[in-house]
Structure 1
Amino acid sequence: METSSDCEAMDPDALQAAERFFDAAPPLSGESDVIAQLKAFVYKQNRSEKGRPIVCVTSGGTTVPLERRCVRFIDNFSAGNRGAASTEFFLKSGYAVIFLSRTGSVQPFCRDLPERPLLDCLETAPDGSLHARPQYEQTVLSALKAHSTVVADGTLLHLHFTTLFEYLQMLGLVGSLLEGFGKRAFFYLAAAVSDFYVPWETMHEHKIQSAGGPLAMELCNVPKMIPLLRRRWAPEAFVVSFKLETDMGMLMQKAKGALLKNGVHAVVANELHTRKDKVVIIEAAGETVLTRDSRDEDIEEKIVGHLTQRHRLYLKHGNGRERASDQAAPQSI
């Protein structure tokens, strides 16, 4: 059972801000197709003999348009490596994955390929046939085998976004459709979501002209959506959020605050310059430090391993936030 602190009503002002955001957002392009894909995927997983759990992995950064017919936008540095790597390890752990990722970001099984895989990895033979270059043959073969397996199993659904508006609308669709999965649903919110945006109703229709001199523009705070996910869309789901800062002291303070304020089950805290080598997972039971032991190791394997263990405990006991006695003691790994 959820605790009263987990299920308390969302702050009315925060709820109104979220509702205003969605009411004013532009229509989601291809929404009916997204819903159809989600319904078919969820139906397939529900019919799985294994009662397969399902995780929504969000990945990459969101853009903030400055014009409705967008020419300019605000972006962030996220390439989606963490989300793509984590998806691979979730699939290996027996999860079905909804991979909600930024268009053009890193995709599962493609992390070891060059940035231009079709141009750099392939070549034509004298007879006109196409094959992998010798130096990439094993990498391409491994990626194809892994991808073919999940396609055959039907355990991976790719959904793509570009803008902040698209991301949050699609997250809402996924959350609502996974409500029926109850505690078997898992949200792994690794996307780098913009903190500020230009409201659609105040946005310029056409390209902003530079002839008018310096540009002064006021950005609004993006409404907090994780409480909406926890309390409205999928209240029984296991939810993990991410926090990244450039200052370790501020990082830990904000990560602990997010755990309490948003009612999530864990927060993965990472400092910008060490994010590939070290993370701290903040939970009600305490803190767990995970480190990468070698250059050939993916720290995401440890993150996913730790969190899937916590999810199994949540499925068994019904509350991943409060039963600290049922969890392993916080540690460094």
Structure 2
Amino acid sequence: VFPQGRLRRRLRPSPREQAAFLQVSSGGLVSRPFRARPRIRDPRVPESHTTVVKAAISSYRKAIDEGLLLKLPFTTIFEYLQLLQLVSTAMNCLEHHGMFYCAAAVSDFYVPWESMAKHKIQSAGGPLNMQLNQVPKMLFILRNHWAPSAFCVSFKLETDPDILIQKAEAALRKYGMNVVVANELANYKDVVVMVTSTGKTTVSRRSKEDDLEEQLIGLLVKMHSDHAKQSNPDQET
């Protein structure tokens, strides 16, 4: 018969369960008893994962305590662009020793502040038409005005592999970046292409246990060091 006490579930009942409930509620018996879905238990984290997470949290807290990491939270595109300007102009004094790793996926469109509704939009007014403006491209301003001597790295993500490198090379020329990291959405965790004015370098993850970012950052650090040495040959980086 229909299992008692199991009608209230977080998951939607299957068609078979619904038919059984209707049959029981009408005074009949379920012709084919079914097995209720097992309850989802709390997931257990493997010990190896726990060790890795603890080490990452310890390194994170150590960086904050030593003043090596400054968190600047933001929510809106307005806050992000304002913080980008403040940070960039503050780092301008570092000249070639400064490095910008612009990996944020900034929205392509936004609603201008003056166009935002001041009060709750009423549904009685009928269909809603919204016009979005393009978010201004700030990489060019960062490179040419806010911190012109810094080492700048930006990212280009595409879903079409046929245009990925072309778009990355165009961004390199248009915004004056030192490096554009090109990645495809389908395999962005496994392979990236570092596009520079002198060529392209493919970085692939060695194994499932390795992080692609570790290899990428190592190469970028070396490129930044070379950039600083070439700009200031008599100074140490």
Q: TM-score, normalised by structure 1?
A: 0.54
Cα distance in structure 1, aligned partners of 2:188 and 2:103: 12
CA drift at 1:140: 5.0
How is 1:218-229 mapped onto 2 (pairs within 5 angstroms)?
Answer: 218-229=131-142
Cα distance in structure 1, aligned partners of 2:205 and 2:98: 28
CA drift at 1:294: 1.0
Cα distance in structure 1, aligned partners of 2:49 and 2:172: 43
Report what 1:178 is aligned to. Answer: 91
Cα distance in structure 2, aligned partners of 1:275 and 1:154: 31
Q: Out of 150, 158, 168, which is 2:81 matched to?
A: 168
Q: Which amino acid aligns with 1:318?
A: S
Cα distance in structure 1, aligned partners of 2:107 and 2:158: 14
CA drift at 1:281: 0.8
CA drift at 1:213: 2.4
The alpha-carbon distance between structure 1 residues 302 and 134, as it changes in their structure 2 partners (threshold 3 A), is closer
CA drift at 1:241: 0.6
Whichever of the two has the greater Rg, that structure is 2
CA drift at 1:138: 2.7
Q: Which amino acid aligns with 1:248?
A: P
Report what 1:273 is aligned to. Answer: 186
Q: Out of 173, 177, 182, which is 1:264 matched to?
A: 177
How is 1:1-333 mapped onto 2 (pairs within 5 angstroms)?
Answer: 138-318=51-231
Q: Deviations over 1:118-159 (max 9, x none)?
A: x989xxxxxxxxxx9978753453234313432342211111
* Counterpart secondary structure, 2:143: helix
Q: Which amino acid aligns with 2:85?
A: G
In the comparison of the two structures, how many residue pairs are matched? 191
The alpha-carbon distance between structure 1 residues 246 and 141, as it changes in their structure 2 partners (threshold 3 A), is closer
Structure 2 residue ranges without an equivalent (≥5): 1-41, 233-237
Between the two structures, name the one with larger relative contact order (CA 8 Å, sep ≥ 6): 1
The alpha-carbon distance between structure 1 residues 133 and 301, as it changes in their structure 2 partners (threshold 3 A), is closer
The alpha-carbon distance between structure 1 residues 220 and 148, as it changes in their structure 2 partners (threshold 3 A), is closer
Greater shift in the superposed pair: 253-262 or 151-160: 151-160
* Counterpart secondary structure, 1:242: strand
Q: Which amino acid aligns with 1:317?
A: Q
* Counterpart secondary structure, 2:72: strand
Q: Which amino acid aligns with 2:201?
A: T
The alpha-carbon distance between structure 1 residues 136 and 309, as it changes in their structure 2 partners (threshold 3 A), is closer
The alpha-carbon distance between structure 1 residues 280 and 140, as it changes in their structure 2 partners (threshold 3 A), is closer
CA RMSD of aligned residues (A): 2.3
Cα distance in structure 1, aligned partners of 2:59 and 2:43: 20
Cα distance in structure 2, aligned partners of 1:184 and 1:214: 53
